[in-house]
């Protein structure tokens, strides 16, 4: 479904991403792990059209989407839950969800809102609360629900467990698992390598802007060297 080849993105002179390539098949859950500053967020932001690559290309469902705008990509079915969630703190929970659904025909929107309310009962309770008052875990659920409003074919998530207590991390990963069992295609960037590798069908390891390893979740998890690169001996 998604084919990234040789993607290079620069900030001025500095290459944050160097010839990165990956692919995501329909229905797959693909993980993207690596230490801080490895370029994971840069990769997602480039795919999503927020950053322009200096080289390489992205193909989504057969269409070349390199350099397309984020607004356009969302209409093609590619959604991103950004790092730090970035919910609109000046809007209510409901309004955040409605923004997520602006690209959907107006007649479908009420139905989608109801659906999100059912799937995320915690949000339902806080429907008219300003999003700035949500806790970290609730905000993460809102961010994911908001992205789901656009009925994406491929959902990308940037560090969904960032800053959450271990218990909430489990909740988030359960959510990802549920999405997977619904047949959704996911590309997830995570710091929490072990949990991600348990869940993913396949994963890529990014370091200093380059893809240094690729394999199934199990292969990478049991690879001792890889583990050491991350977490010392």
Partner 1 sequence: MFPNLRRDVIFPVCGSVILFVLFVGVGLAYQSQFSGAAERLVTFALIDAILVLGIQIYVGNTGILSFGHIGFGAIAGYAFALFAITPAEKLKRIPDAPFGLLDVNVSPWLAVVVAVAVTLVVAFVVGIGLARSGAESGAVSATVITLALLFVTHELARNWPDLTGGDRAGLSFRIGGTLDSRVPVYLALLVSIVLARLYAQSRGGRVAVAAREDDLAARAMGVNPLIQQMVALLISVVVVSVGASLRVYENGSILPRDMFFNLTLVTLVMLIVGGRRSVTGALVGVAVITTGRELARRLGQDGFEVFGIGLDGAPLDWIFRENLKSVFMGVSMLGFMIWRPSGLLDDWELDKWLHSRFGRRSEVPPESLPVIEPDDSSVLVAEGVDVAFGGFQALDDVGIRASRNEVVGVIGPNGAGKTTLLNVITGLVESSSGSVALGGVDLSSAQSFRIARSGLVRTFQNLRLFAALTVRENVEVSALVAASLRRHRPPPDVDGLIAAAGLWEHRDRRARELDYGTSRRLELARAAATAPAFLLLDEPTSGMSDSESLLMVEQVRQMAGLVGAGVVVIDHDLNFIIGICDRIYCLDCGQVIAEGTPEEIQADPVVQAAYIGSAAGD
Partner 2 sequence: MTELLQNLIDGLGRGSIYALLALGVAVIFGVMHLLNFAHGELITVSGYASFWALGAGWSWYLTVPLIVAVSVLTSLIIERVAFSRVRGADDFTLLLTSFGVHFVVSAIFLLYVSASVKTYPRPAWVTNTFAVDSLRIEVFDTVVIVVTIATLVATTLLLQRTTFGLSLRAAAADFDTARLMGVRSNSVIRGAFALSGALAGIASVFWLMRSGSTSPTAGIDPMLKGVLAALIGGLGSLRGAVLGGFTLGLAEVILRSRLPDSVASLTEGVVFLLIALLFIFRPQGLISVPHAERV
Interacting residues with partner 2 between 15 and 34 (CB under 8 A)? none
Interacting residues with partner 1 between 128 and 157 (CB under 8 A)? 133, 135-136
Of 114, 54, 104, the closest CA to residue 79 belongs to 104
- Closest contact distance (angstroms) between CB of 57 and partner 2 is 20
Residue of 46, 150, 185, 192 that binds partner 2 (CB under 8 A): 150
Length reported for the chain: 233
> Cα separation of 87 and 4, whole Å?
27
Choose one: 18-26, 85-93, 115-123, 166-174; the region binding partner 2 (CB under 8 A).
Answer: 85-93
Residue of 28, 94, 158, 159 that binds partner 1 (CB under 8 A): 159
How many chain residues are in contact with partner 2, going by CB under 8 A?
A: 25
Structure tokens at 80: 């991103």
Structure tokens at 41: 């967020």
Beta pairing class for 154-158 and 63-64: unpaired
Interacting residues with partner 2 between 88 and 107 (CB under 8 A)? 88-91, 95, 98-100, 102-103, 106
> Cα separation of 116 and 93, whole Å?
11
CB 144 within 8 A of CB 178: no
**Residues forming the site for partner 1 (CB under 8 A):** 12-14, 35-38, 133, 135-136, 159, 162-166, 169, 191-192, 194-195, 198, 207-208, 221-222, 229-233
């Amino acid at each position: 479904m998604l084919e990234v080849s040789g993607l290079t993105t620069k900030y001025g002179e500095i290459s944050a991403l160097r010839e990165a390539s990956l692919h995501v098949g329909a229905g797959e859950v693909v993980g993207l792990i690596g230490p801080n500053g490895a370029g994971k967020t840069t990769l997602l932001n480039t795919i999503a059209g927020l950053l322009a690559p200096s080289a390489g290309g992205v193909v989504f469902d057969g269409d070349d989407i390199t350099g397309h705008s984020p607004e356009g990509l969302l209409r093609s079915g590619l959604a991103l839950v950004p790092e730090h969630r970035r919910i609109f703190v000046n809007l209510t929970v409901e309004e955040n969800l409605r923004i997520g659904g602006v690209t959907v025909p107006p007649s479908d929107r009420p139905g989608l809102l109801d659906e999100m309310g059912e799937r995320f009962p915690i949000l339902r309770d806080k429907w008219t609360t300003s999003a700035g008052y949500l806790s970290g875990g609730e905000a993460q659920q809102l961010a994911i629900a908001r992205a789901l409003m656009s009925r994406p074919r491929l959902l990308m998530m940037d560090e969904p467990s960032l800053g959450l207590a271990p218990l909430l991390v489990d909740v988030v990963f359960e959510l990802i698992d549920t999405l997977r069992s619904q047949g959704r295609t996911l590309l997830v960037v995570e710091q929490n390598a072990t949990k991600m590798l348990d869940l993913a069908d396949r994963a890529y390891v990014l370091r200093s802007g380059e893809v240094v390893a690729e394999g199934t979740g199990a292969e990478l998890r049991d690879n001792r060297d890889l583990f050491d690169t991350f977490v010392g001996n």
